[in-house]
Structure 1
Amino acid sequence: MTVDGRLARGERTRNAALDAAVVLATEAGLDGLSLAQLADTLGVSKSGLFAHWRSKEALQLAAIDRAVVLWQERIVAPALLAPRGVRRLRALHEARVDFYAARILPGGCFFANTQFEFNARPGPVRDRLAEIYGQWTGFLDRLVQQAVDAGELPADLDVPQLAYEIDALGMAAAMQSRLLDPDAAYRHARAGLLDRLRRLCPDPNLLPEGPS
């Protein structure tokens, strides 16, 4: 099958623009994101971007979906390589902290920033962020439940509570690392979950004694 070269170039341009939009949103916020700003950053015409997104809101929603792809590639996919149970839970948390520590996004965590920015602003952007956050917390619930089912966590464990704590540790790392000592923030986040899992897991051999 022959691929239309113009379509391929258009898709590359779109993806490059969205990657730049995700970066810009961590620095200026989603509300500060505009087609004009993005065009200046990329050195292209605003009209060229307008062909992809007809409004600022459309660009914001597309940037959110692009950030989801990055999150899945850099955090979720590596974690799923670990065995189900407490090792996968820890791998997910470690991948999240590693992602923050690598400073791939200069303004910090895209989702932490944008969720705080839009949590009191009704509309499609907030709705999309809420939907994605619900999917993330549901994913954490499922991973915790898998660990319970595997006998690696207590059968009477409050699954949503542990999932909440895991997310809270990651959120704290995202926020504190931008304002306080980043190394301490990452260290506390890693140690916090490892200590919690080691106290709950009946098999001490599944987890290291200290953060790697």
Structure 2
Amino acid sequence: MADIDAAHPAARARGRSAGRAPHKGQQTKAAIIDAALGLASHVGLEGLSIGAIAELMGMSKSGVFAHFGSREELQIAVVREYHARFERDVFHPALAAPRGLPRLRALFDHWMRQTSLEIDSGCIYISGAVEFDDRPGPVRDALVDTVNTWQSAVRRAIRIAIDEGHLRADADPAQIAFEIHGLILALHYEARFLRSPAGLHHARTGFDNILARYQP
């Protein structure tokens, strides 16, 4: 990802193979991951099981095991797929905006839109953090890795806005990113749990207030 983020290794690997048609095994694996992501969006990563996915796909458990040797492997694949889609839907479109503050605004707008679309399902980053915040292991590591990747991308977008003179030279990218992330978490809570129609307005107003404090 150009100025905003360097593509995740898994995304780069997908890009290198994009020109080749996937064989049947790859198609089946992709279909399993898609079904598992849909399920995890409603029941969380902990709600995934080889048996549940096999039933959902109309496959045998051994058929699913042929692609994922354990539930943990399946959970990690879901985390990575969610991250790839997050990059596709949130970060990549923002690159069309001019560098600096316009791109940062576009990033936040796409992020809010993504959060709104997840009202009836859920955010794997948020639900995963609740499920695995105190549970060390490969699934937590995968979640932390992907979250660190997009948080670094947000900080990079803020640094670019500083370099372009759109934000004060003494502004702290980590602090601004922290405040922006807080707005997204609040929006998710208000929209998904409280079903408040004012959530988007409050989030956008909060974002404008943050920028106003850090503009020259």
TM superposition score category, shorter chain reference: 0.7 to 0.9
Residue equivalent to 1:65: 80
Aligned with 1:34 (options 45, 49, 53): 49
Structure 2 Cα separation of the partners of residues 198 and 84 of structure 1:
18
Residue equivalent to 2:15: none
Asked whether the 8 Å contact 2:161–2:167 carries over to 1, the reply is yes
Query: Any residues of structure 2 matched to 1:87-106 within 5 Å, and which?
Result: 87-103=102-118, 106=120
Residue equivalent to 1:121: 135
| RMSD over equivalenced CA pairs, Å | 1.9
Shift in Å, 1:199:
4.2
Which fold has the larger relative contact order, with Cα–Cα distance below 8 Å and residues 6 or more apart in sequence?
2
Deviations 1:54-90 (A, max 9, x none): 0010101111111111101111111121111111111
Deviations 1:116-148 (A, max 9, x none): 110111111111111221122111111110000
Structure 2 Cα separation of the partners of residues 33 and 24 of structure 1:
7
Deviations 1:85-118 (A, max 9, x none): 1111111111011112224x74211111111110
Residue equivalent to 2:186: 172
Shift in Å, 1:4:
9.9
Residue equivalent to 2:11: none
Query: Any residues of structure 2 matched to 1:37-52 within 5 Å, and which?
Result: 37-52=52-67
Provide TM-score, normalisation by structure 1.
Answer: 0.86
Q: SS state of the match for residue 191, structure 1?
A: helix
Deviations 1:4-56 (A, max 9, x none): 98x52222221121112112112211111011111111222222211110001
Shift in Å, 1:187:
1.9
Which one is further off, 118-127 or 193-202?
193-202
Where structure 1 has 5 or more consecutive residues not aligned to the other structure, the ranges are 203-212
Asked whether the 8 Å contact 1:57–1:125 carries over to 2, the reply is yes
